[in-house]
Amino acid sequence: MTTKTANYKVPFILMVILFFLFGFLTVLNGQLQGPMKALFDLTNAQSTILTGAFFIAFVVTGAPAGMMIDKMGYKKTLVIALLVVAVALATFFAGAKAVSFPIFVTGSFLLGAGITMLQVVANPYISALGTPETAGSRINLAGAFNSLATTIAPIFATYVIFGGKKNADLVVGDVEIPYIGLTIFAVLLAALFSRVSLPNISQGGEEKTEETPAKLEGTAWKFSHLTMGVLAIFCYVGAEVASGNNLKLYLEGMGWEPGDVTLKISLYWGGLMVGRFIGSSIFKNVDNRKGLVVVSLGSMALTLAGSLIGGELGVWALTGVGLFHSVMWGYIFGLAIDKLGPYVNQGSGYLLMGVAGGAVIPYIQATFADSIGWQASFLFIAACQAYMLFYALVGSRIKKSAV
């Protein structure tokens, strides 16, 4: 087993690069929400349409991306995904030139589609680089670098794209040069990945040849632990995105200075980075189910505290939620694809459809915030975290196995 792992160091590093990229671009996209609200005079709920379009793309693209891997292999799917990302980033430049919110929304959707494809490649691929039992640990290690990117992204948005200005002082042209640079970077990355060797592997780390996949009986939806896992991903991603992006709107609504808002948001995403490094090292052998129970309880407790206490102390509680959100993806993903066998790529695509929670849940919370205020609206996020606890205790139990 040791030899096989050593053979896959380069593929693992390449997957970590992908995790960093889609983490950075996901949060960077969310950081445009506040500026778009100011530039186009939007309500809280309307401003979430930008990130909503991004996450809705996961529903549209998730299942087709899984089929693309089966037909074209990991490498070709990955290169196409990076080119889609490049087109999306160029669309943001077009939106700035045209001063058009709908074009920005279109770019956000395309970006979500490209990142969906990247994730459908990266998550099962990393899961396959070893035993299924430790899949969550490997995903958490890669996720730690993803969180490093998400920690940097708010700082990049505030100081590189918008030059530290308040939303009221922004102009839409501020995004033009940074997004042209990001477009060029995505194209170069696609060229790089088109030239590297990326072995085709199956669950357990065995190499396999490119062949026509065996005909599957039915779909992966017949596995209840996967189906309920999709809903768990829906709740998790929604809670994570809302706790980051909507926390930014909450603090801006309280009149906080841009630098102070950026610090708190970076600390939230930084908590995910720290938690994932801890989860992939100190707690790397923790059972996925037990780990999900602990972090679900922790995140729910802090969210309730932030909503009920309010003020500076409540903001600190909401900031700390990132530490507990950090390892949820790996735990849920590991539990949901366990024992799927030949259905794993299809199941991974379905799980990525659950990322649509990042569109729906922040929008619902923002709608609540327009009527009852941001502080009280975080009770809805606590309810999402309660479902993740239910999934850990009940929903993830395997009733049917493919292996």
What's the whole-number mean pLDDT along residues 68-91? 87
| Structure confidence at residue 349 as a pLDDT band (50, 70, 90) | confident
Q: Say which residue, 281 or 4, is predicted with more confidence.
A: 281
Residues whose CB falls within 8 Å of the CB of residue 147, separated by 6 or more in sequence, listed in order? 23, 269, 270, 272, 273, 274, 275, 276, 326
End-to-end CA distance of the chain: 20
Q: What letter represents residue 62's amino acid?
A: G
Residues whose CB falls within 8 Å of the CB of residue 380, separated by 6 or more in sequence, listed in order? 361, 364, 365, 368
Residue 391 pLDDT > 50: yes
Residue 313 pLDDT > 80: yes
Give residue 5's pLDDT: 43
Residue 43 pLDDT > 70: yes
Q: What letter represents residue 162's amino acid?
A: F
Give residue 215's pLDDT: 62
SS3 content of the chain, % helix, strand, coil (to 5): 80, 0, 15
Give residue 209's pLDDT: 47
Q: What letter represents residue 241's amino acid?
A: V
DSSP secondary-structure letter at 356?
Answer: G
| Structure confidence at residue 17 as a pLDDT band (50, 70, 90) | confident
286-303 as b/e, with b when 16 or more CB fall inside 10 Å? bebbebbbbbbbbbbbbb
The label of the residue with tokens 């950075």 reads: 24
Give residue 229's pLDDT: 94
Q: Tokens at residue 24, please?
A: 């950075």
Residues whose CB falls within 8 Å of the CB of residue 67, separated by 6 or more in sequence, listed in order? 345, 346, 349
What's the whole-number mean pLDDT along residues 194-208? 61
Q: What is the dihedral of CA 77, 78, 79, 85, to 10 degrees?
A: 110
Residue 276 pLDDT > 70: yes
The mean predicted confidence, pLDDT, of the chain is 81
Q: Tokens at residue 134, please?
A: 């430790």
Least confident of 115-129, 161-175, 290-304: 161-175
- Reported pTM: 0.69
Give residue 140's pLDDT: 67
